[in-house]
Structure 1
Amino acid sequence: MREEGYARAMVFGLLNINKPAGRSSRWVVNAVSRITGVDKIGHAGTLDPLATGVLLMALGPATRLVEYLQAGTKLYQASIHLGVNTSTYDAEGDVLATAPVPDLALGDLQHALARFVGEIEQQPPAFSALKIAGVAAYRKARRGQTVELPMRRVHIEQIELLSWQSPVLTIRVACSPGTYIRSLAFDLGQALGCGAHLASLVRQASGHFRLEDSVDLETLAAAAQVGDWQRYLLPPDQAVLELTPVYLDAGRTQVLLHGNPVTAPARPATSAGRAYDPDGRLIALVTYDAAQEVWQPDKVFVAD
């Protein structure tokens, strides 16, 4: 456990950014840093340049909550173009092969999509940010090197077929973190025997953070011009709402801030908790020690 202090004026919170098309997630992080003046920013769940939608940002000490932001179920709307395979599995890649698209009814597509619902094995695209011996796979792929990424197990909760107008179908997918919708598009094309690639992608939700509640960069920048960008800043505890709330008085707050355990008023329902000071500030993530009946500090964010 490491205590991380910060001045009361330091930014400590989250942003739900509507990522624009044609920009990398890292580019968006840098843009938010320029707009807000905050140097320490992390993002949860990379979106490819082609994609738009919810990209969560953690600012200041909230970067230590990124793992919780990443854990939520993802909701995507995707358009898949049948009959064309590309090197990247999406519209940005080179065309590798084309094939006639079969005469498919809605029922045919729904039957094919159903095969991908549940726990499935998925091959990540060679053009991805996954590391091989410390080097991003896409860098090797761009150099023409052979890229072999291991299969990964992902969970797709639901696939809803929204529309079909040959050769493009549009679907809505609810899935676990780490799922590649590009790979889903490729695998669907293989299953149908004609090939396919991802034509467009919108992340509509990440956990409980929704696209309709996001802010675009232009709006954020305009607010920053008048010194009001923090109106879009979300409380850091929005990343850990599933943890047990632990409300502390002034004395127990000081004990916890110095890295020491505090007594628990009652046995909690879950062992993972989020601790607040008397002013309602999130000050730490804690774990309940049943043997000693205390909350042990894991991550401390505030030190006066």
Structure 2
Amino acid sequence: MTTPPTAPTGSLACCVEGNRPMASGTETLSGILPLDKPAGLTSAAAVARVKKIGGRVKVGHLGTLDPMATGLLPLCLGEGTKAAPYLSIADKAYEGVILLGVITDTLDVTGTVAERRKVPDLASIDLESLAARFTGNIEQVPPAFSAIKKGGVPMYRLARKGEAPAMDPRRVRITFLELSVAGPERLSVRLRCSKGTYVRSLARDIGEALGCGGTLEALRRTGFGRLDLASAVTLAELEEGGRERLRRALIPLSEALSDLRPVRVDDETAGRLRRGQQQALASAPPPRRAGETGRVLGPAGELVAVVREQEGRWRLDRVFAESAPCGP
């Protein structure tokens, strides 16, 4: 959602680094780390720095933030990388600033200025009505500088060479949008949106609706599903506190997936499920509706598996190994 990146904001794959087992005698870290990413750092670089603190543990990130953007970047550690498909679909919340009267090739201030236009008197604009035009299900054209692939090639690579084709509009959902004047040529924006929404594109479209164009000047992610910045930790805190600070900052997987219905089982059933024995689900409470997804919890509330309803019965979707406790 900002600059020409290695992978821009809005990308939802969990990119994973490091898959070698921990040395004998060292507990494996597993969980979700709510990281407050600083400006000037790619999401991949943030992963590398956390991996250095955690040692030989798998680390991946959800919902890429571009270098210019700051804020909540959830990282998946250890068994947490298996939870990525269930977490990446969550809505995101952002705060940002739109610079009006400036049009750039990347749709943010890190790009090349293509055009400048006069900005109307913002005091005369009904910002509430303007925001309403972009609230709900809308069609949005993604930026050419994005990680969306055409023919297997990321668009930003083609855009850098001036070869990016016209992008097709996509349906996204903005459930909340608030605009306010932040200066003679700037608007502050607060929003909550579905995956795949580009705030850069929103800045462009709001600027065009005002007749002056616009580009994204600043962006901070403030929420990701149930996660918010209140629970986030900085890289400086992690690098000062080391592996123990990292362990305490992790959110247990059973808590991170708390949107899923809990399905509780005893210790024996948990062990059988971890060995991939589908028949052990016969003793679990049954699904309540078609297509339901549940999180199987052991006696201590630990995550054992994620299950999905199929033909009226639970089926294993993902199994999680036992891991050391995390959190405070």
Percentage of identical aligned residues: 41
Q: Distance in 1 between matches of 2:274 and 2:126?
A: 59
- Among 215, 221, 239, the alignment partner of 1:221 is 239
Cα distance change of structure 1 residues 181 and 149 upon mapping to structure 2, 3 Å threshold: same
TM-score (norm 2): 0.84
Q: Deviations over 1:200-257 (max 9, x none)?
A: 00101011100121001000111107x4321111101233212111121122122212
Residue 3 of structure 1 is matched in structure 2 by none
Look up the match of 1:111: 129
Aligned partners of 2:245, 2:74: CA distance in 1, in Å? Answer: 19
Name the structure 2 match of 1:275. Answer: 296
Structure 2 equivalent of residue 34 of structure 1: 52
Superposed, 1:211-250 pairs within 5 Å as: 211-224=229-242, 227-250=244-267
The answer to whether the 8 A contact 2:135-2:174 is kept is: yes
Aligned-partner SS, 1:263: helix
Distance 1:99 1:246 in 2: 58
Distance 1:82 1:11, change over 3 A: same
Q: CA deviation at 1:268?
A: 3.9
Please, which of 99, 104, 117 is the counterpart of residue 86 of structure 1?
104
Matched, 1:99 2:113: no
Residues 266 and 298 of structure 2 are in contact (CA less than 8 Å); yes or no, is this contact kept in structure 1?
A: yes
Shift of the alpha carbon at 1:17?
A: 0.3
Q: 1:149-175: CA deviations, max 9, x gaps?
A: 221100011111243321011011111
Tell me the TM-score normalized by structure 1.
Answer: 0.91
Match of 1:259 among 266, 269, 276: 276
Partner residue, 1:77: 95
Closer/same/farther in 2, CA of residues 289 and 115 from structure 1, 3 Å limit? closer
Q: Considering only aligned residues, what root-mean-square deviation do their CA atoms show, in Å?
A: 2.0
Q: Does 1:140 align with 2:158?
A: yes
Partner AA of 1:301 in structure 2: F
State the shift of 1:179 in Å.
0.5
SS of corresponding position for 2:27: coil
CA-to-aligned-CA distance 1:93-113 (integer Å, 9 cap, x gap):
010000110112264333222
Listed as ranges, the gaps of 5+ residues in structure 1 are 1-5
Indicate the larger mover: 264-273 or 131-140: 264-273
What are the superposed Cα offsets for residues 19-78 of structure 1, whole Å, 9 maximum, x if unpaired?
A: 111111111111111122144111110111111000000011211111222121111111
Gaps of 5+ in 2: 1-20, 324-328
Kept after mapping to 1: 8 A contact 2:120/2:212: yes
Please tell me whether the aligned partners of residues 204 and 211 of structure 1 are also in contact (alpha carbons under 8 angstroms): yes
Aligned to 2:147: 129
